[in-house]
Amino acid sequence: MTTFSDLTRLPDARGHFGPYGGRFVSETLSFALEDLEKTYMSLRDDPDFQAEFDHDLAHYVGRPSPLYHAERWSRQLGGAQIWLKREDLNHTGAHKVNNTIGQALLAKKGGKPRVIAETGAGQHGVATATVAARLGLKCDIYMGAEDVQRQKLNVYRMHLLGANVIPVESGSRTLKDAMNEALRDWVTNVDDTFYIIGTVAGPHPYPMLVRDFNAVVGREARKQSLEQIGRLPDTLIACVGGGSNALGLFYPFVEDEGVHMIGVEAGGDGIETGRHAAPLSANAPRGVLHGNRTYLMSDEGGQVLETHSISAGLDYPGVGPEHALWKDVGRVEYVAANDEAVLEAFRELTHVEGIMPALESAHALAHAKVLAPTMRTDQHIVVNLSGRGDKDILTVAKIDGVEF
């Protein structure tokens, strides 16, 4: 029987989270991953490295991000108090930068002059292009051709930052295909290139190090809860695509058994329609993609399925392996929010609190909207507001029938 404190000691030496995770890659990548693992393990407990990371987070990213009491929205919902962890206020507008700062430091230590990344909504691409600009690194961003269309603003933002955005035309032309292409690039250019993966998926050690770099979110939220609420929250809610913002928030609370955690996946048109991106909530079979074993949406022949979501950032058929284990052991509850409910939450928070959330984060808000009224007014929910919605204005305008 796994106890919750055991969970914090994972992954094991081979990068496994129970039956999930691992390093399922072609031999051509093994060397680079071993090298990265060695570099990271030698630095993760190095006080100088941590100090440099913390310094960048404070002075470049603007951390700590506030824990904001959404009083008006809470009152309107008539139940639990909702607190927003304001990752949207970070430099570049999302939690993604926590990780890119960390991995860019690793790239620098490893002396790599070039970084590459995959991106879905473009937030990770922007965060990578940003740190690359700051460190003077050459930067190529792979982005599904479909997402390039959906997220034009972020594409141009990356151009302005000096990055080269490469549209990926293969497969479903979304996030998973961008990741395939980035892996192919890395295999070819491994000598001078560092691959900054944007989520807690991919081969070991990525799920571990992306989690570690994002765990600052949960550490802050825990401390802020004790200070501002006077105790730990009852419930944490975060959206889950690959799952990096959720792991970042949840991880420091794993041993706090009284804290209920809920990951909200992209329900798309509804789980029952098959048009979604919610492998955990839909109980997708176990599978292997992008170097790790996890819950994976694939057909009976084992071919990876196309996913559907209003938010490009959650449009991914797999999920970080640590989430897969947390589902199995019951530490985290996973649910899905449909596109329609997500849009409603997006509009509601914008109207009631003057905060425009990213469509990804609006998944977490949509579930908070359902859950809060079922709770007492002296109970507290912390929602990870993982990103801001500026990038989604064109998407929402289009739904409203407005063209610019």
Residue 304 interacting with another protein (CB under 8 A): yes
386 is catalytic: yes
Among 48, 272, 300, 403, binds another protein (CB under 8 A): 300
Residue 302 interacting with another protein (CB under 8 A): yes
Interacting stretch for another protein, rule CB under 8 A, among 109-117, 127-135, 137-145, 283-291?
283-291
| Least Å from the CB of residue 23 to another protein | 7
109 is catalytic: no
Which residues from 158-217 bind another protein, rule CB under 8 A? 170-171, 176-177, 180, 183-184, 187-191
Which residues from 334-393 bind another protein, rule CB under 8 A? none
Give the Cα separation of 237 and 334 in Å (integer).
10
Whether the CB-CB separation of 62 and 101 falls below 8 Å is answered with: no
Whether the CB-CB separation of 206 and 173 falls below 8 Å is answered with: no
| Least Å from the CB of residue 18 to another protein | 14
Give the Cα separation of 285 and 302 in Å (integer).
10
Residue 24 interacting with another protein (CB under 8 A): yes
Among 287, 390, 394, 396, binds another protein (CB under 8 A): 287
118 is catalytic: yes
Whether the CB-CB separation of 150 and 395 falls below 8 Å is answered with: yes
Give the Cα separation of 132 and 144 in Å (integer).
21
Q: What is the full DSSP assignment across 33-49? A: HHHHHHHHHHHTT-HHH
Give the Cα separation of 54 and 211 in Å (integer).
15
Element (H, E) at 378: none
Interacting stretch for another protein, rule CB under 8 A, among 59-67, 232-240, 290-298, 325-333?
290-298
Give the Cα separation of 334 and 122 in Å (integer).
25
Residue 286 interacting with another protein (CB under 8 A): yes
| Least Å from the CB of residue 329 to another protein | 21
* Mask for 26-65, x = binds another protein (CB under 8 A): xxx-xxx-x-------------------------------
Beta strand 138-144 with 164-168: parallel, antiparallel or unpaired?
parallel
| Least Å from the CB of residue 306 to another protein | 9
Residue 111 interacting with another protein (CB under 8 A): no
| Least Å from the CB of residue 208 to another protein | 16
Give the Cα separation of 126 and 121 in Å (integer).
10
- The sheet that has 138-144: what strands, in order across it? 164-168, 138-144, 114-119, 193-195
Catalytically annotated residue among 85, 96, 369, 391: 96
Placement of tokens 């993966």 in the chain: 197
Give the Cα separation of 314 and 242 in Å (integer).
7
Q: Return the closest-CA partner of residue 196 out of 111, 121, 101, 55.
A: 101
Residue 274 interacting with another protein (CB under 8 A): no
Whether the CB-CB separation of 308 and 338 falls below 8 Å is answered with: no
Among 6, 285, 351, 393, binds another protein (CB under 8 A): 285
| Least Å from the CB of residue 22 to another protein | 5
Catalytically annotated residue among 118, 146, 322, 360: 118
Among 82, 126, 178, 289, binds another protein (CB under 8 A): 289
Give the Cα separation of 217 and 231 in Å (integer).
17
Residue 156 interacting with another protein (CB under 8 A): no
Per-residue CA distances from 353 to 58, 151, 224, 298, 360 (Å): 26, 25, 20, 40, 18
What residues line the site for another protein (CB under 8 A)? 14, 22-28, 30-32, 34, 170-171, 176-177, 180, 183-184, 187-191, 285-291, 296, 298, 300-304
Active-site positions read 96, 118, 386
